[in-house]
Amino acid sequence: MPLLRTLPFFLTLALAVPTFAGDADDIAALLNKGHADDALQAADRALAKTPRDARLRLLRGNALASLGRTADAIQVFNALTVDYPSQPEPYNNLASLYAQQGQLDKARAALELALQTNKAYATAHANLTDVYARLAAQAYEKALQRDIVERQSGQSAPPAANTAPTRLALIQDMTGHSAVVLAPPATVATAPVVKPPVVVASAKPAESKPVTPVTVPPVAASKPAVAPAQPTVVATVAKPVATPTPATPVAKPATPPVAVVTEKPHDSDRDAEDQINKALKGWADAWSAKHVGNYLAFYGHSFKPSGMSRSAWEEQRKERIEAARKIEVHLSNIRVKLEGDRATVHFVQRYRSDKLDSSTGKTMIMEKAGGHWLISEERVG
């Protein structure tokens, strides 16, 4: 039962040292040709130089799985989920091995974890659909066997239908890529829930209350009751009626203050959003221009990279940026949620270089420090 929908994956999780990127490509080529033993030896040699390289570790796990060393491969992928918990590929490959062993419940749990890291990960959506289908088929087969045994009492149960272990192909690359090339099943297409826009226009209904001129009809009704010879009295009565009208705004004080209070934060929020957008543009422009110093300056002191020290991460970023002949970074669909001097920013990042072309969703936590908005946390998805 074929399960995996393969997609063209892009490498977004940093390779340890760009100089050894060719090693990973060579190992992947060996695996594709079926030379798992050679691929494992090459992966061990490369990891001796860069032991934390995520892609090399993933490929090593694939080589172990191809050689039938399933327990060792599971250990490799489990370690990757600990070091890189925001990446879905190790969970997907764990699901592949569990499915091959017939442990569909474990495969399902691993795929659900993959989707927690990236809800738009189409491969996991497709694989999870197939795992559910296989679980349903197993339940049906068991129910059918019980029914037959009950009808043919005294006879042994008939042989089960073909229940060959489910096989999911192993992903060869680490990625945070959220763009879907092949559409997942129809049920996945309905998964995204469009959040309703925040209704700020709730203050407008208060504008309908000014129809308090209803107080005028009683005055008009009192006019006929007064003798026509007293028009001046009516005029004087009309003025006292004008004085209650200021009293009617007494019912309004609740709304004007609200309108005033909401306008000021709105203006300040807009200023903060403009500053955040400018900071993000400066960050992307510095990256595109390969100005490493300016690029790193957009990360605050509180920023802590995953799985390595700050100094090692900065050195890695410097090497990767300088290794590329050209870089283009464009941001779109920027959404900002402000909480005082802290903001959560979601956007789509399009990255192009001579080695990679990818589009991925990103989330950043930015904090205001010294009048500047700096990155305190960065994650894919």
The one-letter code for the residue type at 228 is P
Report which DSSP code applies to 69: -
pLDDT of residue 248: 52
Closest residue by Cα to residue 88 from 113, 114, 110: 114
Evaluate whether 130 touches 95 at the Cβ level (below 8 Å).
Answer: no
The one-letter code for the residue type at 180 is V
376 φ, ψ (degrees, to nearest 5): -110, -20
Closest residue by Cα to residue 269 from 332, 340, 198: 340
Q: In the structure encoding, which two tokens stand for residue 76, read together?
A: 């490799």
In the block, which residue shows the tokens 């930015």?
366
CA distance 99 to 292: 44
Element (H, E) at 342: strand 342-353
pLDDT of residue 147: 73
pLDDT of residue 219: 44
Evaluate whether 373 touches 352 at the Cβ level (below 8 Å).
Answer: no
pLDDT of residue 126: 85
Q: Which CATH architecture has domain 18-189?
A: Alpha Horseshoe (1.25)
pLDDT of residue 169: 67
pLDDT of residue 201: 42
Residue-range domain boundaries for the chain:
18-189, 211-251, 259-380
pLDDT of residue 246: 53
pLDDT of residue 185: 42
In sequence order, which ranges of the chain are alpha helices (DSSP H)? 21-32, 36-49, 54-66, 70-83, 89-100, 104-117, 122-151, 186-189, 216-225, 231-242, 244-247, 255-288, 292-297, 310-323
Overall residue count recorded for the chain in this entry: 381
pLDDT tens, position by position, for the chain (381 residues)?
A: 344 443 333 333 333 334 345 789 999 999 999 999 999 999 999 999 999 999 999 999 999 999 999 999 999 999 999 999 999 999 999 999 999 999 999 999 999 999 999 888 888 888 888 889 889 888 888 887 777 777 776 655 455 555 555 667 677 777 654 333 333 444 444 444 444 454 444 444 444 455 445 444 444 444 444 444 454 444 444 454 455 555 555 555 554 444 444 444 466 888 999 999 999 999 999 999 999 999 999 999 999 998 889 999 999 999 999 999 999 999 999 999 999 899 999 999 999 999 788 898 999 999 998 889 999 999 987
Domains 18-189 and 259-380 share a fold: no
pLDDT of residue 342: 95
CA distance 317 to 298: 13
Evaluate whether 329 touches 260 at the Cβ level (below 8 Å).
Answer: no
CA distance 357 to 350: 8
pLDDT of residue 346: 96
- Give the three-state DSSP class for 331: strand
Contacts of 228 (CB under 8 A, 6+ apart): none
Q: How many CB atoms lie within 10 A of CB 107?
A: 28
pLDDT of residue 151: 75
CA distance 289 to 283: 10
Model pTM score: 0.38
Evaluate whether 72 touches 94 at the Cβ level (below 8 Å).
Answer: no
Residue 232: CA count within 13 A, CB half-sphere = 0
CA distance 17 to 321: 11
Q: In the structure encoding, which two tokens stand for residue 251, read together?
A: 């019912």
Contacts of 116 (CB under 8 A, 6+ apart): none
Evaluate whether 344 touches 363 at the Cβ level (below 8 Å).
Answer: yes
SS (H, E, C) 306-324: CCCCHHHHHHHHHHHHHHC
Sign of CA dihedral 265, 268, 273, 276: negative
What class has domain 259-380?
Answer: alpha beta
Evaluate whether 281 touches 349 at the Cβ level (below 8 Å).
Answer: no
pLDDT of residue 45: 94
